[in-house]
Structure 1
Amino acid sequence: MGLLTKTLFLCLALALSDAAPALPQDKAGHSEADGPDRCAGLEFDAITPDEKGKTLFFKGGHLWKGFNGTAQLSNESFRELDDLHDIGHVDAAFRMHSTENPHDHDHIYFFLDGKVFRYFNQALQDGYPKEIQEDFPGVPTHLDAAVECPKGECMMDSVLFFKGQTVHVYDITTKTVKTKTWPHLPVCTSALRWLEHYYCFHGNNFTRFNPVSGEVTGAYPKDARSYFMKCANFGHGGNRRPRKCSEVKLDAITTDDTGKTYSFAGPIYMRLDTHRDGLHPFPITRSWKELTDGVDAGFSYTDKTYFIKGDKVYIYKGDVHYTLIEGYPKNLKEELGVEGVVAAAFLCPNEHTVHIIQGDRMRDVDLSATPRVVTRDVAIPVSGIDAGRCGPEGVDVFKGSQYYRYESPMLLAASRIVPQALNITSAMMGCEN
């Protein structure tokens, strides 16, 4: 099997690879530890990541921490949920994402009937619980589900509150609510945002949806036990193993103006700056639907991301989701003033020059100029480059499962000595050393 094929089929199931075996269960779906067994098929009351990136699943008075393991009593971690109200369940929960108010960012909110609880590091914050209307005016009580939606995925930092098939979109900054009805989406008993993807859980199934339109694309519903936990006789993709770091071969890597870092390999991509919540590959066409054959190179400039494939340039606007700009793709020569096969391209922060690597040469193009032409053409000491990026630590050029670091593009162009090769690590790409 070729490396490219392996890249597609060998998923980085980090969160799922170390799961504990399910405990024996009775007909009611309870394990020997006298707690519910989610492998029996459960409808969750609420799901949310915590401030450390661990996903919490709630059912009745129990919770599971992460995608593996057995149930534990929820009041062992969040005592006040039971002590103050003796309710024994959670209606909805989400992890706050607020760029405007760091004091609220990463706090966990739980909703029980008409009350809201706010936690950080499993400690109830002063002044809580409150009435829901005090913190979220216009949001109803007795919710079914809730999920955060950061700016760039929604128009503004928002929270989606679900009650039946009505969605209350709460703008965190203005504290206003817009109401939508998504009759095509199942009634969500819980919801989760994971790695820029949004999931509505219903019964023991889930449906992935667009957080702006509610649109569902693909074959849904799917069984949650095949994707969000490790259960015997469940799983997607067969007997996969985690990808070895020695097998990594990138086609492109780029960081956009909002700090999102993506790597591309064959027909898949992976977001790298979300390592707290996990690393997982997805098909490129899920976010950039026109890139059906992968990419040769990519870089970000202003609020746009450029992809090069063959002799074509695709430019996507990175506002709310990625949209191909009208009129693209365009010819490489017309757009960037270069011809031939492009191996890599990178742009340093706050600069206007894209550095395009072709074979053992680096050609610079000023993106602020019209027309765009090559302003410098120099030999570089490393050939066979696959991808490149430029950041605060300098320039990294990737070749297979290794990379070379230079302090700047100028030193890459001026150097005649190849530095020591560094190995791609698990911390960088989520692979297995």
Structure 2
Amino acid sequence: MELVTKTLLLCLVLAVTNAAPTSPQESAAVDRCAGIEFDAITPDENGATFFFKGDHVWKGFHGPAQLSTEFFKEIGHVGAAFRMHNTEDQTVHDHIFFFQDDKVFSYYNQTLEPGYPKEIQEVFPGVPTHLDAAVECPKGECKTDSVLFFKGQDVHVYDLATKLTKTKTWSDLPTCTSVFRWLEHYYCFHGHDFTRFNPVSGEVTGQYPKDARHYFMNCTNFGHGGGRRPVNCSDVKLDAVTTDDSGRTYYFTGPMFMRLDTRRDGVHAFPITRTWKEVAGALDAVFSYTDKIYLIKGDQVYIYKSDAHFTLIDGYPKSLQEELGIEGQVDAAFVCPGEQTVHIIQGQRMKDVDLTATPRAVTRDLPLPLSDIDAGLCDSDGVKVFKGSQYYDYKSPMILAMGRIAPHPQPITSAMMGCKD
């Protein structure tokens, strides 16, 4: 139980920035842990998150304030900001847009783009001036690739392809002074609180508002924020791991999971039920195939559609026997890119199942040189099988099965999982 607790703490480590403030007096005057209302929140092209208040900014979820001109020298007070990330227009990809009154500034790599600032209407036709907040909303989360602009309780939805703006009124949502998209969820910040909302309808579900100091910054004596330390990599033990077709990588340990492809936004963990609500507790194995993710728990298989938000396919869960033609405890499972075979590890054997067959059945059963495997992952570099806090690299599933001398084990590192080496 102690190991599980340590592993879960790993997931809750937020990005750390240790830049010094301009002076102790200025830092104390804008202490975000005292409870302040942010003017704007946005990630940069490297995924570092900036929190703006007046002429000060915090870079990351931890650390003191600095003058915003230390990063973006042409701006002072910011009314709204967002990063343009999901767009086909490469001329603005990963640019940050800042809004001041009736002007918009475009930055890339903390450098103001030539010709800026410009009038807001020149860049975003139909969008009003003196904005409260802005956030990008890619297709799949919104109906089209869009930017949501907030002013009072009106939301101006700007379509990036058509350059048309539609206005909605979301009277149930508080007036947002900043909005932040984080791990495909949308957060309206108001006062020192935040409210999560649906970016299409503005609907709020769950118990909100919540205090931002518990979730989006490290503050002493505030819930998730106070006194965390990363777990040692030598204590990490995985239950399952997979990478889906969109490139999202998921590591599972106990009742929690991590999205490691979002490492640049900080390594964070959430209960498995947050994304796959029908599955509670630890998994035995997981694998991805086509546009679906298969979660194996006990003798049950749950299959979810891998869209913006995972949806359990009708009729599931089903038994391992019915879905994959196998019985017994599953230790690990993986599918290699472009293949239609799932390799299932049970004890010291690997069983192959053709996923295109009906009904599915074991087509090959091979012994393995390793025992006690916890998880497996296959990508363009080959196969990794995890055992405790170490993993073994193989060039292919056949080399894994046919090799009689195991390769030298490699330790899980901080570069992989954000743990402490």
**TM tier, smaller:** over 0.9
Say yes or no: does 1:3 pair with 2:8.
Answer: no
**What SS does the corresponding residue of 1:319 show, helix, strand or coil?**
coil
Deviation at 1:32, TM superposition (A): 5.0
* Residues 15-37 of structure 1 deviation map (CA, whole Å, 9 limit, x = unaligned): 2597989x97xxxxxx3558522
Alignment check: 8 A CA contact 2:17 2:63 kept: no
Q: Separation in 1 of the partners of 2:17 and 2:109? A: 26
* 1:9–1:51 Cα change, 3 Å: closer
Say yes or no: does 1:56 pair with 2:50.
Answer: yes
TM-score (norm 2): 0.93
Q: How do 1:310-389 and structure 2 match up within 5 A?
A: 310-389=298-377
Letter in 2 for 1:49: P
Deviation at 1:305, TM superposition (A): 0.9
Q: Separation in 2 of the partners of 1:180 and 1:295? A: 42
**What SS does the corresponding residue of 1:381 show, helix, strand or coil?**
coil
Taking every aligned residue pair, what percent have the same amino acid on both sides?
71
Q: Separation in 1 of the partners of 2:167 and 2:268? A: 32
Q: Separation in 2 of the partners of 1:329 and 1:181? A: 40
* 1:383–1:398 Cα change, 3 Å: same
Q: Separation in 2 of the partners of 1:130 and 1:282? A: 41
* 1:50–1:238 Cα change, 3 Å: closer
* Residues 197-232 of structure 1 deviation map (CA, whole Å, 9 limit, x = unaligned): 322110011122333443434432222223222334
Q: How do 1:170-181 and structure 2 match up within 5 A?
A: 170-181=158-169
* 1:231–1:14 Cα change, 3 Å: closer
Select 1:262's aligned residue among 250, 255, 267. Answer: 250
* 1:17–1:247 Cα change, 3 Å: farther
Say yes or no: does 1:44 pair with 2:28.
Answer: no
* Residues 251-277 of structure 1 deviation map (CA, whole Å, 9 limit, x = unaligned): 111111111111111111111111112
Alignment check: 8 A CA contact 2:392 2:410 kept: yes
Letter in 2 for 1:286: R
Which residue is 1:302 aligned to?
Answer: 290
Alignment check: 8 A CA contact 1:144 1:164 kept: yes
Select 1:73's aligned residue among 48, 52, 67. Answer: 67
Deviation at 1:155, TM superposition (A): 4.1
Deviates more, 1:128-137 or 1:304-313: 128-137
Name the count of aligned residue pairs: 421
Gaps of 5+ in 2: none
Which residue is 2:110 aligned to?
Answer: 122
Q: Separation in 2 of the partners of 1:130 and 1:427? A: 40
Q: Separation in 1 of the partners of 2:20 and 2:195? A: 25
* Residues 51-93 of structure 1 deviation map (CA, whole Å, 9 limit, x = unaligned): 1222111112222222233322223332322xxxxxx421110
Q: Separation in 1 of the partners of 2:266 and 2:342? A: 30
Q: Separation in 2 of the partners of 1:179 and 1:320? A: 24
Gaps of 5+ in 1: 25-30, 82-87
Deviation at 1:328, TM superposition (A): 1.0
Q: Separation in 2 of the partners of 1:306 and 1:179? A: 40
Say yes or no: does 1:108 pair with 2:102.
Answer: no
Letter in 2 for 1:425: T
TM-score (norm 1): 0.90
* Residues 79-109 of structure 1 deviation map (CA, whole Å, 9 limit, x = unaligned): 322xxxxxx4211101111342233221101
Q: Separation in 1 of the partners of 2:132 and 2:256? A: 34
Deviation at 1:162, TM superposition (A): 1.8
Deviation at 1:165, TM superposition (A): 2.5
Q: Separation in 2 of the partners of 1:316 and 1:170? A: 31
